[in-house]
Amino acid sequence: MSTLVQPVTESSTIASSTSTSSSSSSNTLDKDTFLQLLVTQMQYQDPLNPNTDTEFVAQLATFSQLEQLQNLNQVASNSQAFGMVGMDVVVSSKDSSGNTTYTSGTVDYVVMSDGEAKLSIDGKLYSMDQLYEVISSEYLLEQGLPSVNEKVEETFDKANPEDITFEVNLGSGDTVASEVAIIIDGEVIDSDYVTLEGDEVTISKDALSDLEEGTYNVIIVFNDSLYTTVTDKISITVEDTSSDDDSDTDTGADTDETGADSMDA
């Protein structure tokens, strides 16, 4: 009677081979793997203590639910893929050495292959499992806008006037600027007094000499396709130290006069 029951070692070997075969095709358990396990369980059950029909029906119901969930997941994945046409994405792939590389580009179209949606990027097809990152086109546009990277606070002394120079970022891609306009105290500075060389903007001292003492926010308008405007990065404080020198001179003269009067007395 003991011969009716398969040895545990053989059952373990078969289960091991089934597990190895399954893991070689996929790193996760799918519905086919569970079906193989069910068949193996039915084939090698103990005839002295067999499983009941109720147990098998319950397991089949579980496998059916698993299949439905996997199908729903595939449908959702395919629907998501079709909605990504025209989006900028980053996908990952592995080379022959097992190293992961990343490719960025725009999804040109989506094609169905063996029931799975594939993303076409620069003529190559990628699965949704390879999708690594989705980038908004507005975000990419903002990254290429002209800007002023660091806040600049300059001082212009009317007694010793000098040109004001600061650095700007002219942008990249479709939003590169080639010229700038400067607005101070609500008035546009004549272009003859503003020069752009490389990434350096210079405001001539002649354009600042008529300003009253105080602090002014400098508005910069770039001539890129969006006319990017920066309003809070550059400030110029105008002062006149010559008035301080005159005050010191007057104080000295008063002191001399007071001393002379004391000597006469």
Residue 74 contacts residue 116 (beta carbons within 8 Å): yes
Same domain, yes or no, for 130 and 163?
Answer: no
Q: What distance in Å separates the CA atoms of residue 62 and residue 162, rounded to the nearest whole number?
A: 82
Within this chain, do residues 199 and 149 fall inside the same structural domain, yes or no? yes
Whether 199 contacts 213, CB under 8 Å: no
250 found inside a domain: no
> Considering the domain boundaries, does residue 260 fall inside one?
no
Number of domains in the chain: 3
Show the domain range for 138.
84-93+102-142
**Prediction pTM value:** 0.52
The CATH number for 217's domain is 2.60.40.10
Instruction: Examine residue 249 and state whether it is found in any structural domain, yes or no.
Output: no
Q: Coil, strand or helix: which one is 113?
A: strand
Distance CA 146, CA 223 (A): 9
Considering the domain boundaries, does residue 264 fall inside one? no
- Would you state the pLDDT for residue 11? 44
128 and 107, same structural domain? yes
φ, ψ for residue 197 (rounded to 5)?
-125, 110
Are 75 and 24 found together in one domain? Answer: yes
Question: Could you read off the pLDDT of 79-107 as tens digits, one per residue?
Answer: 677 777 888 888 988 888 888 888 888 88
Give tens-digit pLDDT for 151-181. Answer: 999 999 999 999 999 999 999 888 899 999 9
